Amino acid sequence: MDKKQIKNLDNKIDSLSSRMDQRFKFVDQRFEQVDQRFEQVDQRFEQVDQRFEQVDQRFEQVDQRFEQIDQRFEQVDQRFEQVDQRFEQVGQRFKQVDQRFEQVDQRFEQVITMLLNHEDRLERIELNMATRDDIRQINQTLDTLVKSNNDIKEDHLFGLRWQKRMQKQLDFHEEDLKHLKIVLNLV
């Protein structure tokens, strides 16, 4: 292999290493807290990066170790397949999370609708509800009415007693008049 091909391979390896780094950064940013297995994957990719750096340093010995490098590329390809499978699993997990969010959104909408209904009810209650001042005024008015009613009752009782006394006097005077008419022979 000549230096040009080696440099091409080196560029491809650097490009591949760069793409791998970008992909891992994306994975780290998106799923860092989702699963501890990603940390293992990240560590393994760091090992792969270290191996590629070793490959870059030992590239002068490519002829002697080309089969070993090919085997390592196969391992990396297998690792990429595993990572792709993991991406599919994560994609499925995101679909599940999205479905869960949709359910939560629906429930949230129900709660908001319920709150709006309760708000309308509360507004009607506020309109129809008597405040403490209203109740005080009603109580004062009722106290005044009860006092007036009691005064009227007392006046009525007094009037009835007076009427009974007057009736007794009238009856007495009528009896006296009857006796006087009889005595005077007016009847």
Residue 150 and residue 87 share a domain:
no
CA distance 19 to 13: 10
Q: What is the pLDDT of residue 24?
A: 78
Cβ atoms within 10 A of the Cβ of 69, count?
18
Residue 120 domain-assigned (yes or no): no
| Tens digits of pLDDT across the chain (187 residues) | 678 888 888 888 888 888 888 877 876 776 666 666 656 656 887 887 888 787 677 766 656 667 776 788 888 899 989 999 998 999 999 899 999 999 999 999 999 899 888 888 888 877 777 788 888 998 999 999 999 999 999 999 999 999 999 999 999 999 988 888 888 887 6
* Structural tokens at position 184: 């005077």
Integer-rounded Cα radius of gyration of the chain: 53
Q: What is the pLDDT of residue 41?
A: 58
Residue 119 domain-assigned (yes or no): no
Q: What is the pLDDT of residue 38?
A: 52
Of 55, 81, 98, the domain-final residue: 98
Residue 90 and residue 20 share a domain:
yes
Residue 142 domain-assigned (yes or no): yes
What's the pTM? 0.30
Residue 123 domain-assigned (yes or no): no
The boundaries of the domain holding residue 139 are: 133-187
Q: What is the pLDDT of residue 61?
A: 66
Residue 94 and residue 9 share a domain:
yes
Residue 54 domain-assigned (yes or no): yes
Residue 83 domain-assigned (yes or no): yes
CA distance 81 to 79: 5
Q: How many domains does the chain have?
A: 2
